[in-house]
Amino acid sequence: MNTELSVIIPTCQRNESLARLLASLERQTLPCDAFEVIVIIDGNAPHTAEFLKNYKGALRLRFHGVPPSGAGCARNQGAEMANGRILVFLDDDMEAQSGLLAAHLLAACAGESVGVGNLVTLLPKRAGFLGSGLRIWWERKFEEMRRDGHRFSYVDLLSGHFSIPARTFAKIGGFDPALNCREDYELGIRLIQAQIRFGFVQEATAIHHETENLRKSLDRVMKEGFADVWLARRYPELARSLAAALLCQTDLKPFGKRRLIEHVVRNRPRLAEQLLTRIEHLGMRGLWQRGYMFLRKFWYMQGVCSACPDAKERKMIFSPPANLRKKTVGIIDLQNGMAQAALELEKIRPEFARLFHGNQAIGTIPPEPFADNIGARHLAPYVREHCGHVFLKAIALDRVTQYAPVKR
Amino acid sequence: MPTKVLDFELPQVPERLPGLAGYTSAFVLLRWEGRPVAAAVVPLHKGTFKKADLRERMSTGLGDDLRACWLSILFSPSSCKQRPGRADVTIAVCTRNRADDLRKCLESLLSLPDEGQEILVVDNCPANDASERVVRCFPAVKYVREDRLGLNRARNRALREARGEIVAFIDDDAVADKNWLRALTDAFAAPLTICVTGLTLPIELETEAQEAFELIGAYGRGFRRKRFSIETISPAGGGAAGAGVNMAFRRDVIEKAGCFDEALDAGTATHSGGDTEMLCRVIGAGYEVIYEPAALNWHRHRRARAELIQAVFGYGVGLYAAWTRCFWVGKERDVLGTAWSWFFKVRLRCAIHAVWHRSGAYPRDLAWAELKGSLWGPIAYGKARRELARDNAQKE
């Protein structure tokens, strides 16, 4: 039997999670000989290698160790070793539901080039304020993708669970090894640039065993700050939409209150985190939220500053000229009905669209950096949510002017 | 003078509707494709309803709601029109000594489209077997007797006895609209949503007490869908999401947020607040509550003034008892600020305005009853906890 799918799992000293994931892959509706599993051990992890050597399950499993170089490199290595037509990337903290691989295969056969998988976040029992906030963040992300007319963009590619044809992955060059964080966003940018379509595969569901804690969360934020500078340098078009763009514009007073708090956080980082944990134990949610947001911003900016220490340069990087590239525009008239307008839009597939009803302006579907071009399925949901009232008024005005007696 | 409750489907509103002698005004519910979109109180002229009065009322305040609804119907995505897979649902009616109301409630539930839902009546510490006899008339309805007094005990029993994944609660003095259950269950699309509440309107406004209850808007949550989670509100604001008369939970709410607190609500010293506290807890646990106005049910408000004052006092006690529980047991310290400002900025101000008869003010007796209840709430919760502990000790 030909190998249709290759499941690629980068892992790093998390044997328990890996065992759970492998067990869940054994329970797939797809027969085990229809797919192969490639585990890439990122860094020195003799216990993981030992565990995989002793694996006696039904899966066709191969593993390979690489020097510590980040999950992106490990995934690239896995893709090189893969024989499958479709690559399915799964992180080791996932647990696949039984229909996951079959759903990815079906989506690939149906023509979805990149299939973003669904995740259900499972928190440990004492998840606290951070955990519940994270769960909401994840849920909102997938809810948005499920929404009719969602415009996929580079931020929708989540490396923890997605599928892509092996040929496309090789053609695009895989993950950029220079990035240790945001490598999925960067791959998403190149895929969008290459006009490869994304789709959300609702039936491909994995349980995401979230183990984030405050320290990990702040570490990640710092890495994100670092990576954002890299992204802004490489893709200036993106710079204005990154969080750093706003934060780099605010100049702090030399002796302000925030400066003082920042001084304490910088010199006693553990103290600030302990204080936040104490606030959580006391149940002061509002204060915790403010403190957490402050720490996030602080560590994010630390990451940004470590990648680009010069304040002037930072400002330049994150505020490039507004119109770097001329964007394609579609002028769409809704007067002949939504269906007709949607057809016109699908023909042009512009980066942004101006909507009219006869002579009356209804609104603009704005350009988004590295997002899917606007097609037929985006039109009705956008009008409903953003310019519905103007549209209804335009219809009413049109009727009135059409039937009102003309005075001479 | 009494108010007639009228229910119209747009755009088929009659120009004139005579024969409403004895009523001075009408409470008009407007629907669009069966979905409630707006409600207005319009005056009647010599027992006749006139469309022109309604139009005038709509042009002043209801236009936005109607437009929003029209839009959502005009552009409703095809995926919304298709129903998701049939959920396994149990309808739970917690009742106590209200056999006549229960009969009407069950009749309405049995006239709902049959999608395999289970109907469960939890009879809470009944004084006689009247409710049981009513339930015996409906073979499709399951009867469970909970001998320990307390509405929240009955709710917990319902969650344990239910076989559906979703448990929809309706009060025994309410009747369900034809689309009630479908709208409630359809709103459970996202995994984050573990509670959905619906719109409750008066089934009759025949007495002054019923009109007063509607005026103070105890169940009024509007005609637009709303979502409540910690992103948008503090857990203390859970009461804004809905009320126990019309709410549904995923049955696994017990694992995710815990059981209903048995020291709260009717049958205890706290009189009410069990529903509010549960909503606060669901939001605090990081889940979402959706208010879905399409899930409409009709409530018979209390007819006698004395009953109403007692109920409003109970709401005051219940709200502050629920907040006490959130603060003390749930360790949500932010509740303190909400409770403080609600007392001084809303309750006390309302009571003072009522004394001076300012326009738009609460009726004086109701304002004072609620104020007194708010002061009594924390003490009542302590008392109810002690009683609960005593009961549990006796049981052991």
B237-276 confidence digits (pLDDT tens): 999 999 999 999 999 999 899 999 999 999 999 999 999 9
CB-nearest to A286 from B191, B229, B334 is: B334
Contact (CB<8Å) A136/B230? yes
- Residue A405 confidence (pLDDT): 52
- Residue B72 confidence (pLDDT): 67
CB-nearest to B229 from A136, A282, A389 is: A136
**Cβ–Cβ < 8 Å for A188, A153:** yes
What residues of chain A lie within 8 A of the CB of B190, using their CB? 139, 143
- Residue B59 confidence (pLDDT): 67
pLDDT at position B61 over 80: no
A and B: number of Cβ contacts within 8 A: 65
- Residue B63 confidence (pLDDT): 65
Over residues B117-125, mean pLDDT: 95
Tens of pLDDT along chain A (408 residues) come to 578 899 999 998 889 999 999 999 999 999 999 999 999 998 888 889 999 999 988 999 999 999 988 889 999 999 999 999 999 999 999 999 999 999 999 999 888 789 999 999 988 877 789 998 999 999 999 999 998 889 999 999 999 999 999 999 999 999 999 998 999 999 999 999 999 999 999 999 999 998 888 999 999 999 999 999 999 999 999 998 898 888 877 765 556 677 778 888 888 888 888 999 999 999 999 999 999 999 999 999 999 999 999 888 888 888 887 776 788 899 999 988 888 999 999 999 999 999 999 888 999 999 988 999 999 999 988 988 888 888 888 887 777 666 555 454
With cut-offs at 50, 70 and 90, classify the pLDDT of residue B359. low
Q: Which residue has the higher pLDDT, B55 or B149?
A: B149
Look at residues B351, B377, B348 and name the one whose alpha carbon lies nearest to residue B365.
B351
What residues of chain B lie within 8 A of the CB of A384, using their CB? 71-72, 74-75
CA distance A281 to A128: 9
Contact of A284 with chain B, judged by CB distance below 8 Å, is answered with yes
pLDDT digits (tens, 9 = 90+) for A363-386: 999 998 899 999 999 998 898 888
Amino acid letter, residue A15: N
Contact of B373 with chain A, judged by CB distance below 8 Å, is answered with no
* Predicted model pTM: 0.88
Contact of A66 with chain B, judged by CB distance below 8 Å, is answered with no
**Rounded to whole angstroms, what are the CA distances from B352 to B5, B265, B348, B357, B363?**
32, 28, 6, 9, 11
| Chain B nearest CA to A381, separation (Å) | 7
CB-nearest to A384 from B71, B79, B191 is: B71
CA distance B262 to B344: 29
Retrieve residue B140's tokens: 């499709």
Per the DSSP assignment, residues forming a β-bridge with A85 are none
CB-nearest to A148 from B79, B190, B284 is: B79
CB-nearest to A283 from B80, B190, B332 is: B332
CA distance A333 to A345: 10
**Cβ–Cβ < 8 Å for A399, A361:** no
Q: Which of A130, A136, A147 to mutate to test the interface with B (most CBs of B within 10 A)?
A: A136
User: CB neighbours of A32 closer than 8 A, spacing ≥ 6?
Assistant: A26, A58, A59, A60
ipTM of model: 0.82
Over residues B33-54, mean pLDDT: 88
Contact (CB<8Å) A133/B229? no
Contact of A233 with chain B, judged by CB distance below 8 Å, is answered with no
With cut-offs at 50, 70 and 90, classify the pLDDT of residue B62. low
Look at residues B257, B220, B255, B262 and name the one whose alpha carbon lies nearest to residue B241.
B220
pLDDT digits (tens, 9 = 90+) for A255-272: 667 777 888 888 888 888
